Amino acid sequence: MKTKLIHSLLSPLLVAGLLLAPLPGLSGHAAAASVTTKATAAAQQLQVIVDGKKISLSAAAYAENGVTYVPMRDIFKALGASVTWESKTQTIIARKGYLSISLQVGKKTAVINGKTVKLDAPALIRKGVTFVPARFIAESLNATVKWDKAASAVRITSQEAAENAEYEEWLESQNNLPTLTSKEIVDKFDESVVLIMTNKAQGSGVVIGENLILTNYHVIADAASATALTINGKQLTIAGVVKYDEDADLAIVRTGGAIGIAPVTLGYGLNSYKGGKVVAIGSPLGLQNTVSDGLISNITYEDGIRYIQTSAPIDHGSSGGALFNEFGDLVGITTLGYSGTSADLNFAVSVIHAASLNSEITDKDVEDARFLPSSLPATLVGAPLTDIEKLLKDHYGLLSTTEGEAAFTKWTAKRDSSGWLVLTAEIDPLFYMYYGAASAQELRLWAINLGHEFHEMLPDEKIQVLINYEREYGFEPRGFAPGEVTSLGGDKWQVRFPVIDMQLKNELFIKVRV
């Protein structure tokens, strides 16, 4: 598995100046021949070795005027490129990944990704076989080329082989890394994990710079103000968001002044593997810098995001906390967990996404740090009911739970005869029947959050939120309260009852039926 994403493309000047230089040793070989027939006879002994393996050639490679020629299709195939031959114009077109190379027989120029470069020697046709200069083709495809005089061979190492060799060397070096105990990890990093308190919620964060803290996007998304509290009791005002990635649920925030704590290094989490030991540090339920340990239970991908599943216990408030491996590397940012299970099913976003986000930060990003615009209006006072219904539909139409997505439809907003603002919707009946009991706590928290946000937007209103279950049946269901089952005629019956009933003004009342 590749773990390094390397995208290198030599500039046209480099291609022209370096890639076309004759192979060392080849010019002497060609000069030794006094006539063309002798040169051809000598060149038949040339070998072409790609990534340590001698490639089978459809026609013998040969050297001429210090340039080694190899059959077109053989070299491109060996280097993993596709090639097309346009016989009418005698043009070769090759592609590999983001690279496109074209050259024409007899022409001393080529085109690499739209840029024209000069060639020392053109492609040519010999005895019905199209030959291309080996060094140009190999180095245009980001391979390295060496002349092996003893073996009379051209040795080519592809970019992929070079990266794999580097990775294998790195893996070997990891075998000698010392492992740390949980206490040693805590001693080293405890101060670098902070509690984050916003005007909306509480989470955790990891210090990654002089005035930068990494956390989850959802911790800071709707905040208008926030502070970071260190384990030593230092309180730091957060000035705003520097950079964020909503898909990966990550954000980097800036504090108003220097944090004065050693930052955690952001690597790529290459030492995270299934079965490896990990330590989580965060502030679940506001219990600052709580430590838990466990294993990496799995490594999964969803919509291009890498997640580390761990058995290290986390809870609400752990969002944005740190997950370290046994070598003391930060490998993930604790993000979510499944409730109602004893299996400790918890997840952290891989640090690779945090490292990528951090690499994009500019000085201007840091200087211009601001809190993100709220997805909710500052007030709904005086707003028409149709606007309130649209807000409910757009902002509260879906809840992602640990059991799946619960949809809320048919939102209405009405004022009754007693002056209450009554907000109603219907929950997906299948979700409720299958997962209502397991998701009861999440439904309760969702409703409380909805009520809190509406109270901020309409502070003087008496508000009731009614989320109903409604479904038609071909029989008369039994065991319901009067009025919850209604005959529709034609052997059709409708069941309707409130799943959530929340009421608030200065205080809150909520009832969830499961």
Tokens of 50: 């790609």
pTM of the model: 0.59
Q: Please name the fold of domain 47-157.
A: Copper Amine Oxidase; Chain A, domain 1 (3.30.457)
Two domains, one topology: 47-157 and 182-368 = no
Q: What number is the average pLDDT over the span 104-116?
A: 93
Q: Please name the fold of domain 182-368.
A: Thrombin, subunit H (2.40.10)
* Residue 369 near residue 242, CB atoms below 8 Å: yes
Burial readout 156-172 (b: 16 or more C-beta within 10 A, e: otherwise): bbbbeeeeeeeeeeeee
- What span, in angstroms and rounded, lies between the C-alpha atoms of 99 and 114? 10
* Residue 312 near residue 344, CB atoms below 8 Å: yes
* Residue 256 near residue 236, CB atoms below 8 Å: yes
Is 41 a residue whose pLDDT tops 80? Answer: no
Give 377-431 pLDDT, tens digit per residue.
Answer: 989 999 999 999 999 999 999 987 777 889 999 999 999 999 999 999 999 999 9
Check residue 176 and give its pLDDT: 77
DSSP string, 299-353: EEEETTEEEEEE-S---TT-TTEEEEETTS-EEEEEEEE-SS-SS--EEEEEHHH
Q: What is the CA radius of gyration of the chain?
A: 33
* Residue 176 near residue 187, CB atoms below 8 Å: no
Question: Quick one: pLDDT band at residue 2, thresholds 50, 70, 90?
Answer: very low
DSSP secondary structure code for residue 16 in this structure: I
Is 247 a residue whose pLDDT tops 60? Answer: yes
- What span, in angstroms and rounded, lies between the C-alpha atoms of 36 and 161? 36
Check residue 213 and give its pLDDT: 97
Question: Quick one: pLDDT band at residue 15, thresholds 50, 70, 90?
Answer: very low
DSSP secondary structure code for residue 21 in this structure: S
- What span, in angstroms and rounded, lies between the C-alpha atoms of 321 and 311? 15
Q: What does the domain layout of the chain look like in residue ranges? A: 47-157, 182-368, 385-512
The residue type at 124: L
Q: Which residue has the tokens 């003004």?
A: 505
- Name the more confident of 116 and 340: 116
The residue type at 419: G
- What span, in angstroms and rounded, lies between the C-alpha atoms of 396 and 423? 11
449: enclosing H helix or E strand: helix 440-457
Question: Quick one: pLDDT band at residue 207, thresholds 50, 70, 90?
Answer: very high
450: enclosing H helix or E strand: helix 440-457
Give 430-457 pLDDT, tens digit per residue.
Answer: 999 999 998 888 899 889 889 988 998 9
Q: Is 277 helix (H, G, I), strand (E, B) or coil?
A: strand
130: number of CA atoms within 13 Å, CB side?
20
- What span, in angstroms and rounded, lies between the C-alpha atoms of 42 and 48? 14
Residues whose CB falls within 8 Å of the CB of residue 443, separated by 6 or more in sequence, listed in order: 399, 401, 406, 436, 467, 499, 500, 512
408-416, Cβ contacts within 8 angstroms, sequence gap of 24 or more: 408/467, 413/385, 413/388, 413/389, 414/385, 415/385
Check residue 341 and give its pLDDT: 65
Check residue 223 and give its pLDDT: 87
For residue 329, give the nearest of 282, 268, 275, 273 by alpha carbon.
268
- What span, in angstroms and rounded, lies between the C-alpha atoms of 208 and 242? 13
* Residue 502 near residue 508, CB atoms below 8 Å: yes
Question: Quick one: pLDDT band at residue 56, thresholds 50, 70, 90?
Answer: very high
Q: What is the mean pLDDT of the chain?
A: 87
